[in-house]
Amino acid sequence: MNVVVIVTVAHHASDGELALTPVRGEPLLTHTVRGLLAVPEIDLVLVAAPQRCAQAYSQVLEDLSCRVVPGSLRQAFAAVEPELPRGSVLLLHDALRAFIPAQTVRDVIDAVGDTSPIVVPVLPMADTVKVTDADALIVGTEDRNRLRTAQTPIGFTLEAFRAADPSAPLHAGAATVPGHPDAMRVTTGFELSLAEAIAAAPKNEETL
């Protein structure tokens, strides 16, 4: 077992329930896990389920070859750590990013290594970013050419994951690969409409 994905909803308290939001008749979580399982390079998908959602997660994923581990991200990792050989790659993926293209996942996997122990898919900023003061007055403009929005999966070497702080996995010095607009977090009504359109679109080998 060389590539393991841990799917998590650890960002916000409401994310556990949001992962059960239906998109074309199936929960977001089901779309997320099914897509990851379709990437041949991935050997195992673990889902770290909040205790209150563990039964629901197990039910919606019962037909998919993944493991649901009730508890935290670290508890999910502990459940698989003894099985991981040296040189394994760990991917940490947000359950609400259900439609990331397969090629983006592969790019993260391929980029993880001794010289890049942590890899993050990113997108350039499209909007102008302003800096405001305590009175909400604009005091400056950030150079958006150097700004990026981070996505998942975040890739780690086994050693880097063991050392990482799960509450702040994006360390300075992490390498980046191009992300994809389809990998948005689905949390609003507008994003849900986009997710419905993505799910309805014809699939090809590059799209999960």
What are phi and psi for residue 58, nearest 5 degrees? -60, -35
Yes or no: say if 92 and 152 are a contact pair by the CB < 8 Å rule: yes
Task: List domains and CATH numbers for the chain.
Answer: 3-122+148-200 (3.90.550.10)
pLDDT tens, position by position, 18-55: 999 999 999 999 999 999 999 999 999 999 999 999 99
Using CA atoms, how far apart are residues 1 and 4, in angstroms rounded to an integer? 7
Using CA atoms, how far apart are residues 105 and 96, in angstroms rounded to an integer? 15
Q: Give residue 175's pLDDT.
A: 95
What rounded mean pLDDT belongs to the chain? Answer: 91
Tell me which residue of 97, 108, 99 sits closest to 174, measured CA to CA.
108
Q: Give residue 84's pLDDT.
A: 94
Could you count the other beta carbons within 10 Å of the beta carbon of residue 180? 19
Q: What percent of the chain has pLDDT above 90?
A: 80
Confidence of residue 168 (pLDDT cuts 50, 70, 90): low
Q: Sort strands 175-178 and 118-124 into parallel, antiparallel or unpaired.
A: parallel
Confidence of residue 167 (pLDDT cuts 50, 70, 90): low
Tell which wins on pLDDT, 208 or 101. Answer: 101
pLDDT tens, position by position, 94-120: 999 999 999 999 999 999 998 999 999
pLDDT tens, position by position, 115-159: 999 999 999 988 888 999 999 999 999 888 888 999 999 999 999
Q: Give residue 31's pLDDT.
A: 97
Tell me which residue of 185, 150, 179, 203 sits closest to 38, measured CA to CA.
203
Residue 74, SS3 per DSSP:
helix
Yes or no: say if 154 and 92 are a contact pair by the CB < 8 Å rule: yes
Q: Cα 175 from chain centroid?
A: 16
